[in-house]
């Protein structure tokens, strides 16, 4: 440091920053004076640098939110486009086959199915808007985790069998219960499992695991893993947005990532504040023996 300072050309202004031991940021400026010397000024710019860091963090969050919004709009457009096109094609079929009662009935059935799908999509959008806007009151049910996981898997059994996919369950012993909205949590996990089945190739395997968070991390993890290369988000679309909103409303989240050996995975995290510890059975002590007076 001394050598660098001695070799500096003092006829030119210099500016630098230094970090003090207590974490303050100092801006150091050296300016030459007419008599050949120089004046060094130290300015505490800690608050300015903190404001700049906060601004950059806010900009990063805004960019992430903008990306998420774009992905959501793309998924929503796809969800709405398919049933609308089906209804339009159904109406054209009715016009072309007005004299064929069978064709009219089939087209009407297709249009009714598309309308139901469209209605369900719009209901999902309304739920998502209420959840993200904080205008949705969550129930405070006691959710038994093994029952929750097994019921969602059983609901998906028929779809898995039709797709020729093996659907496995792994439950860690002694899992706590969860305090939350049972219906919404069931909906969220069922949608993630359905997305996993939809994106698993025939002959593949989807696995649902429930365990406590490892390595001292808090909370409960429900992992949905599957074989294959495509991501779960490719199949989940709008449903995964709603599932993530449900978990975030409970203080948790859904994270999509790759798992070595298992392929893409979705991890549902529920924080420890939502957990109800399992109650250990009380062992009754044996009654004391009494002596026979005789």
Rounded to two decimals, what is the model's pTM?
0.58
Beta strand extents in 7-99 (DSSP E only): 14-19, 25-32, 38-44
Please state which CATH class domain 141-276 belongs to: alpha beta
Collapsed DSSP state (helix, strand, coil) of residue 266: strand
Crossing angle of helices 182-198/145-162, nearest 10°? 30
The domains of the chain are located at 2-44, 65-132, 141-276
pLDDT at 294: 47
- Provide mean pLDDT across the span 4-16: 79
* Gyration radius of the chain's alpha carbons: 31
Question: Closest Cα partner for 38 from 14, 17, 19?
Answer: 14
Question: Sheet harboring 38-44: ordered strands across?
Answer: 14-19, 25-32, 38-44
pLDDT at 142 over 80: yes
**Hey, what CATH topology would domain 65-132 get?**
Helix Hairpins (1.10.287)
pLDDT at 229: 60
- Provide mean pLDDT across the span 140-154: 93
């Amino acid at each position: 440091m001394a050598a660098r300072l001695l070799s500096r050309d003092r006829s030119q202004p210099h500016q630098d920053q230094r970090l003090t031991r207590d974490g303050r940021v100092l801006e150091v400026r050296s300016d030459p004076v007419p008599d050949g010397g120089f004046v060094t000024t130290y300015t505490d710019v800690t608050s300015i640098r903190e404001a700049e860091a906060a601004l950059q963090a806010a900009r990063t969050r805004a960019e992430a939110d903008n990306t998420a919004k774009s992905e959501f709009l793309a998924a929503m457009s796809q969800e709405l486009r398919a049933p609308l096109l089906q209804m339009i094609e159904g109406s054209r079929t009715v016009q072309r086959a007005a004299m064929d009662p069978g064709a009219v009935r089939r087209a009407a059935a297709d249009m009714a199915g598309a309308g139901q799908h469209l209605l369900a999509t719009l209901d999902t959008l309304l739920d998502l808007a209420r959840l993200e806007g904080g205008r949705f009151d969550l129930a405070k049910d006691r959710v038994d985790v093994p029952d929750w996981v097994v019921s969602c898997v059983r609901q998906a059994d028929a779809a898995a069998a039709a797709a020729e996919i093996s659907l496995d369950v792994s439950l860690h012993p002694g899992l706590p219960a969860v305090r939350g909205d049972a219906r919404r949590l069931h909906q969220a996990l069922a949608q993630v499992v359905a997305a996993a089945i939809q994106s698993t190739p025939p002959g593949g395997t989807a696995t649902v695991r429930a365990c406590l968070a490892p390595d001292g991390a808090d909370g409960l993890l429900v992992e949905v893993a599957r074989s294959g290369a495509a991501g779960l988000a490719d199949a989940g679309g709008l449903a995964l947005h709603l599932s993530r909103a449900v978990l975030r409303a409970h203080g948790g989240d859904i994270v999509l990532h790759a798992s070595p050996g298992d392929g893409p995975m979705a991890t549902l995290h529920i924080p420890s504040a939502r957990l109800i510890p399992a109650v250990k059975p009380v062992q009754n002590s044996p009654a004391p023996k009494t002596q026979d007076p005789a």
